[in-house]
Amino acid sequence: MMFLVGLTGGIASGKSTVSSMLRELGCPVIDADVVARQVVEPNSSAYCRIVQHFGQEVLLENGEIDRQKLGQIIFTSAEKRRLLNSITHPEIHKAMLKHILLYFLRGYHYIILDVPLLFETRRLTRFLNHTVVVYCDPTTQLSRLMQRDSLTQQQAEQRIAAQMPLNEKRGLANHVIENSGSREDTLRQVLRLHSKLEDSMEFLVVRGLAVALALGLGGLLLYTVKLLGS
Ligand SMILES: CC(C)(COP(=O)(O)OP(=O)(O)OC[C@H]1O[C@@H](n2cnc3c(N)ncnc32)[C@H](O)[C@@H]1O)[C@@H](O)C(=O)NCCC(=O)NCCS
Ligand SMILES: Nc1ncnc2c1ncn2[C@@H]1O[C@H](COP(=O)(O)OP(=O)(O)OP(=O)(O)O)[C@@H](O)[C@H]1O
């Protein structure tokens, strides 16, 4: 018995901030950005296809992908972005599935998937039991993004425009964490979310036990009826 929770938001809306709070509370989190870095390591099949389509000029001297350069290309061209997505996304989803399986085998009852493009690709949404959007207002998002990644306003706006509007994502989620305020405000909401998830898990375990008990009793009843009849 296991359930999956999708955590998403906009670029720099605070997903990593929220997922590290959940990790500290003991939740297993799979971060799609980290997986995305692993699947393009030199000589992987995604890496070879990136070099084939984008050329040697997107490589650093040590042979690794020059993420800054590739970012400049894909955030200014929707066509190039689609091309990169078509190379990386199937690999990212396959690798995430492997991580999910490993957590399941280790006995975790729920897993958090931190996926920035959850609602854009929609591939994973049908497997999710809960979706959480980390929201912050557009002005805060822009200024946090510019500051964190040392981007000009235009570059930051381009990156925000490469994703579904955050307002729209908010409307698609089961839970919303409002991260425009202080980290303490956000932590309070994360603690509430965490206890909801724990309750859902307990409900799932109790329901599973009830089903097992009902099946056991049913079997016993059938056996008794059969014994009496013979
Ligand atoms: C373009 C790349 C090289 C930029 O690398 P960089 O280290 O500068 O950024 P990082 O990977 O940490 O991503 C930062 C944020 O950018 C946004 N972002 C990344 N890729 C995309 C994309 N294809 N479309 C829209 N937004 C994106 C996400 O909000 C992400 O959290 C890199 O993001 C990448 O390989 N993207 C394609 C894979 C992908 O879609 N990753 C998102 C996880 S599913
Ligand atoms: N409540 C907050 N108060 C102040 N700063 C914050 C808050 N939440 C996040 N930040 C800062 O805003 C920036 C973006 O946050 P974070 O990296 O968590 O976003 P993200 O959604 O994971 O971004 P990305 O989509 O690029 O991976 C970071 O520099 C972070 O330290």
Distance in Å, CA 111 to ligand 2 centroid? 21
Ligand 1 proximity of 82 Cβ (cutoff 6 Å) = no
Q: Does 112 or 229 have the greater pLDDT score?
A: 112
Q: Does 176 or 230 have the greater pLDDT score?
A: 176
pLDDT tens-digit profile of 78-128?
999 999 999 999 999 999 999 999 999 998 889 999 999 999 998 888 889
> What DSSP string describes the chain?
--EEEEEEESTTSSHHHHHHHHHHTT--EEEHHHHHHHTTSTTSHHHHHHHHHH-GGGB-TTSSB-HHHHHHHHTT-HHHHHHHHHHHHHHHHHHHHHHHHHHHHTT-SEEEEE-TTHHHH-TTGGG-SEEEEEE--HHHHHHHHHHHHT--HHHHHHHHHTS--HHHHHHH-SEEEE-SS-HHHHHHHHHHHHHHHHHHHHHHHHHHHHHHHHHHHHHHHHHHHHHHH-
pTM metric for this prediction: 0.89
Q: What is the predicted pLDDT for the residue at 229?
A: 82
Sheet holding 130-135, edge to edge: 29-31, 110-114, 3-9, 130-135, 175-178
| CA dist list (Å): 6 to 44, 76, 98 | 27, 27, 16
Distance in Å, CA 63 to ligand 1 centroid? 19
Ligand 1 proximity of 70 Cβ (cutoff 6 Å) = yes
Ligand 1 proximity of 87 Cβ (cutoff 6 Å) = no
Task: Say which ligand is closest to the CA of 80.
Answer: 1
Atom number in ligand 1 closest to CA 121: 44
Mean pLDDT of 40-69: 97
When pLDDT is cut at 50, 70 and 90, the band that residue 216 belongs to is confident
ipTM tops 0.90: yes
**pLDDT value at 209 more than 80:** no
Distance in Å, CA 207 to ligand 1 centroid? 39
Task: Say which ligand is closest to the CA of 8.
Answer: 2
Atom number in ligand 2 closest to CA 116: 25
Q: What is the predicted pLDDT for the residue at 202?
A: 67
Distance in Å, CA 132 to ligand 2 centroid? 16
The protein residue with its alpha carbon nearest to ligand 1, atom 10, reads 33
Distance in Å, CA 182 to ligand 2 centroid? 11
Q: What is the predicted pLDDT for the residue at 184?
A: 98
Distance in Å, CA 146 to ligand 2 centroid? 11
Task: Say which ligand is closest to the CA of 137.
Answer: 2
pLDDT tens-digit profile of 2-39?
889 999 999 999 999 999 999 999 999 999 999 999 99
pLDDT tens-digit profile of 69-87?
999 999 999 999 999 999 9
Domains of the chain in start order, with CATH, are 1-28+108-230 (3.40.50.300), 36-107 (3.40.50.300)
pLDDT tens-digit profile of 142-156?
999 999 999 999 999
